């Protein structure tokens, strides 16, 4: 045990540590180890406590799934979760299409003010979220957005805001994939008489498929995870899960919050890991083909 | 790339839908808020564009100026911590074995994909009076107390009579820790990308010629990787400056940041012109930081999206 520990810390290896073997210096490992503890311990504790049979959640009592059962029976939590999913799905469809069009536009065409356009498209990614949040809030108030629309329609202002910040991210992902596209394929298709539309559907879209799926999954998690912008655009009847969690955290911290948070974390992490894998697989196939 | 005139129909088909969205649902809202920032409040909900600078001048009143400085200070402190810790972590990843590297990278990126709000909430359980940091501190205290008693120094009460938990939550330090926790991966990734690209023979040469590791870092590594550091600083500092739920959840009554004031102006205080001015102060700071980065790093080709 002690031997394993010292070798883990970089002491007990036979071969000497090379001058650039920073990964094997004990102080380096200490910093990295402590950083990962700092990054992960709170999340592990949060998830563990969603299974803890104690209301105050200070010491571990025993394993239970009661908090999940409670969360499932909490009507407002379920409504918020339903809203979040609905918004995320519609957002995914719209921002994947818009992001792909943006990427194709910037990949294919030279046009006046192109650098300005590129800068403007990147703006939603770089500005502080709160600025965008208040801008959307002010905008919908200014055009007199009605507050009493029937259910799925009532979410559309949140969807509009989400699409505005997520389609530039999709564009980044699609552009990365397009950079490796062999344009001769497109030329060949057109030489052989394919229309623009046919070329797009039969040549470009199949090539883009991994990036399209990755972009769709990323825009899904961006929307599902967003708190700040939704916080400013949501009305009392259009609460999403992160907004609901925020109000729960502010007013009463119970393990139910941990359970709801765990569900959200699991969904977004799984979706993202899938997206990353697809994107990597796509890049590998792209570079070899 | 082809000229758009060659296929104008395709060009418009590609450009109209995203441009429509960008203009109407992003640029128009921003311009609207920009307009509000030069407007005056009329009645309860009305505003009138009078091209006044009063809203910006109000931000310079002592009470708000203090909050502005505090926000800058906390964001700068958090960015500095990210930079100081980020370098060794990025180094360790760049110099890790090929087998370990993707896993270490994944470990750094993964927190990105966990909701920031939830991560902030998770910190509460660690920092509160009956939280993990204090439990660990209590164990240390008890151990030290036991040692002191055993060696016969127990009467002197060198470490206090009883264990006192530290007040870790609801102060400025907790907010800084929360910001570091939220945005740390933003710092590591550009640093890693730059260290990875670094030609290692420079470092070998420096070490061979007798420079120590510190000297090598400051004379060789840092000058060659500071583009990455600058990117990291900009992308940590901007969201840190605009943070509002982190101070709300982790901060005390005097840990307000600009974000909290903006939120109040738009929600409970209902003073949109003033909130708009503060929000645009953040925007100006953002543009300034981005321009600075572009200027200093030089235009190395590629658009803003490649950053």
Q: What is the pLDDT of residues A135-156, one digit of tens each?
A: 999 999 999 888 788 888 899 9
| Residue B215 maps to a domain | yes
Residues above pLDDT 70, as percent of chain A: 90
Q: Residue B247: give the domain boundaries.
A: 58-128+168-301
Q: What average pLDDT does this structure show over A177-192?
A: 88
Residues above pLDDT 90, as percent of chain A: 48
Note whether A14 and B85 are within 8 A (CB): no
Q: Judged by CB atoms within 8 Å, which residues 96-125 of B form the interface with A?
A: 96-97, 100, 104, 107-108, 110-111, 113-119, 121-125
Tell whether the torsion through CA atoms of A223, A225, A228 and A232 is positive or negative: positive
| Residue B6 maps to a domain | no
| Residue B154 maps to a domain | no
Report pLDDT for B307.
Answer: 38
Q: What is the distance between the terminal CA atoms of chain A, rounded to a whole angstrom?
A: 48
Report pLDDT for B301.
Answer: 42
Render the burial of A122-134: b for 16+ CB within 10 Å, e for the rest. bbbbbbbbbbbbb
Note whether A133 and A233 are within 8 A (CB): yes
Q: Judged by CB atoms within 8 Å, which residues 81-120 of A form the interface with B?
A: 97-99, 101-102, 104-111, 115, 117-120
| Residue B89 maps to a domain | yes
- CB–CB contact A131 B280 (8 Å): yes
Q: How many CB pairs below 8 A link A and B?
A: 247
User: Cα–Cα–Cα angle for A116, A117, A120, nearest 5°?
Assistant: 85
Q: Which residues pair with B40 in a beta bridge?
A: B48
- CB–CB contact A268 B115 (8 Å): yes
Report pLDDT for B299.
Answer: 52
Note whether A26 and A5 are within 8 A (CB): no
Which residue in A has a C-alpha nearest to residue B89's C-alpha? A32
* CA distance linking residue A256 with residue A67, whole number of Å: 5
Under DSSP, the state recorded for B116 is: H
Note whether A128 and B242 are within 8 A (CB): yes
- Per the model's pLDDT, the better-predicted residue between B250 and A281 turns out to be B250
Phi-psi region at A74: left, alpha or beta (left = phi > 0; alpha = psi -120 to 50): beta
As a whole number of angstroms, the longest Cα–Cα distance in chain A is 73
Report pLDDT for B155.
Answer: 67
Task: With a threshold of 0.90, tell me whether the complex ipTM lies above it.
Answer: no
The secondary structure of B13-36 as a DSSP string is HHHHHHHHHHIIIIIHHHHHHHHH
Neighbour count for residue A287 (Cβ, 10 Å) = 8
* CA distance linking residue A189 with residue A12, whole number of Å: 62
Q: Does A142 reach chain B within 8 Å, measured CB to CB?
A: yes
Domains of chain A, residue spans: 22-51, 68-287
What band does A284 get if pLDDT is binned at 50, 70 and 90? low
Length of chain B: 307
- Per the model's pLDDT, the better-predicted residue between A134 and A145 turns out to be A134
The number of distinct structural domains making up chain B is 1
Long-range CB pairs of B61-64 (<8 Å, 24+ gap) are: B64/B261, B64/B278
**Residues of A in Cβ contact (< 8 Å) with B115:** 225, 227, 242, 261, 264-265, 268
Report pLDDT for A279.
Answer: 74
Q: What is the CATH number of domain A68-287?
A: 1.10.3720.10
Residues A255-279: pLDDT tens digits?
Answer: 888 999 999 999 988 988 888 887 7
Report pLDDT for A243.
Answer: 94
Which residue in B has a C-alpha nearest to residue A243's C-alpha? B117
Q: Judged by CB atoms within 8 Å, which residues 178-197 of A form the interface with B?
A: 196
- CB–CB contact B132 A41 (8 Å): yes
Report pLDDT for B100.
Answer: 87
Q: Does B35 reach chain A within 8 Å, measured CB to CB?
A: no
Residues contacting residue B130 through CB under 8 Å, at least 6 positions apart: A58, B165
What global pTM score does this model have? 0.87
Mean pLDDT of chain A: 86
Per-residue pLDDT at A7 exceeds 70: no
As a whole number of angstroms, the longest Cα–Cα distance in chain B is 91
Per-residue pLDDT at A5 exceeds 70: no
Could you give the C-alpha distances from B146 to B22, B140, B166, in angstroms and in order? Answer: 65, 10, 20
| Residue B33 maps to a domain | no
pLDDT along chain B (307 residues), means of 10: 86 94 96 94 80 91 93 96 94 87 88 88 85 83 84 71 80 94 92 88 86 86 88 92 92 90 90 94 92 75 41
Q: What is the 3-state secondary structure of A64-129? A: CCHHHHHHHHCHHHHHHHHHHHHHHHHHHHHHHHHHHHHHHHHHHEECCCHHHHHHHHHHHHHCCH
């Amino acid at each position: 045990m002690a031997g394993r520990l010292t070798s883990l810390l970089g002491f007990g290896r036979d071969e000497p540590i090379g001058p650039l073997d920073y990964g094997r210096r004990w102080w380096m490992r200490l910093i990295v180890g402590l950083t990962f503890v700092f990054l992960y311990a709170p999340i592990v504790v949060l998830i563990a406590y969603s299974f803890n049979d104690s209301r105050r959640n200070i010491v571990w009592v025993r394993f239970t799934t009661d908090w999940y059962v409670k969360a499932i029976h909490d009507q407002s939590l379920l409504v918020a979760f339903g809203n979040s999913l609905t918004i995320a799905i519609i957002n995914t469809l719209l921002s994947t299409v818009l992001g792909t069009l943006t990427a194709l536009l910037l990949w294919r065409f030279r046009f006046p003010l192109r650098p300005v356009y590129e800068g403007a498209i990147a703006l939603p990614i770089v500005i502080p979220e709160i600025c965008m949040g208040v801008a959307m809030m002010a905008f919908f108030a200014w055009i007199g957005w009605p507050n009493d629309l029937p259910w799925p329609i009532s979410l559309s202002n949140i969807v509009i805001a989400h699409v505005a910040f997520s389609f530039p991210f999709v564009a980044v992902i699609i552009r990365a994939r397009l950079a490796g596209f062999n344009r001769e394929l497109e030329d060949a298709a057109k030489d052989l008489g394919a229309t623009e539309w046919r070329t797009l559907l039969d040549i470009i879209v199949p090539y883009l498929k991994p990036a399209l799926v990755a972009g769709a999954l990323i825009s899904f998690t961006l929307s599902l995870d967003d708190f700040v912008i939704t916080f400013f655009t949501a009305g009392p009847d259009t609460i999403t899960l992160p907004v609901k969690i925020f109000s729960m955290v502010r007013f009463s911290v119970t393990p139910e919050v941990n359970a709801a948070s765990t569900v959200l974390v699991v969904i977004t992490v799984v979706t993202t890991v899938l997206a990353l894998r697809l994107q990597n697989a796509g890049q590998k196939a792209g570079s070899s083909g | 790339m082809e000229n758009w005139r060659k296929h104008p129909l395709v060009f418009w088909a590609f450009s109209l839908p995203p441009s429509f969205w960008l203009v109407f649902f992003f640029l128009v809202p921003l311009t609207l808020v920009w307009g509000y920032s030069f407007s005056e409040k009329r009645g309860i909900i009305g505003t009138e564009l009078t091209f006044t600078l009063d809203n910006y001048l109000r931000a310079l009143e002592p009470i708000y100026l203090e909050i502005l400085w505090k926000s800058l200070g906390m964001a700068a402190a958090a960015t500095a911590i990210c930079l100081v810790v980020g370098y060794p972590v990025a180094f360790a990843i760049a110099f890790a074995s090929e087998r370990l590297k993707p896993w270490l990278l994944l470990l750094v990126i993964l927190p990105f994909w966990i909701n920031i709000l939830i991560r902030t909430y998770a910190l509460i359980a660690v920092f509160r009076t009956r939280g993990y940091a204090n439990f660990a501190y209590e164990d240390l205290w008890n151990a030290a107390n036991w040692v002191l008693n055993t060696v016969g120094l127990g009467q002197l009460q060198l470490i206090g009579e009883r264990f006192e938990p530290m007040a870790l939550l609801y102060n400025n330090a907790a907010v800084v820790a929360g910001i570091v926790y939220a945005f740390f991966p933003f710092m590591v990734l550009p640093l890693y990308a730059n260290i990875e690209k670094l030609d290692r023979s420079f470092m070998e040469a420096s070490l061979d010629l007798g420079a120590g590791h510190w000297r090598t870092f400051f004379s060789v590594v840092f000058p060659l990787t500071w583009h990455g550091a600058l990117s990291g600083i900009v992308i940590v500092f901007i969201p840190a400056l605009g943070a509002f739920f982190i101070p709300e959840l982790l901060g005390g009554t005097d840990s307000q940041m600009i974000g909290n004031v903006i939120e109040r102006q738009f929600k409970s205080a209902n003073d949109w012109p003033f909130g708009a001015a503060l929000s645009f102060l953040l925007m100006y700071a953002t543009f300034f930081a981005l321009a600075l980065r572009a200027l200093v790093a030089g235009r190395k080709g590629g658009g803003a999206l490649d950053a």
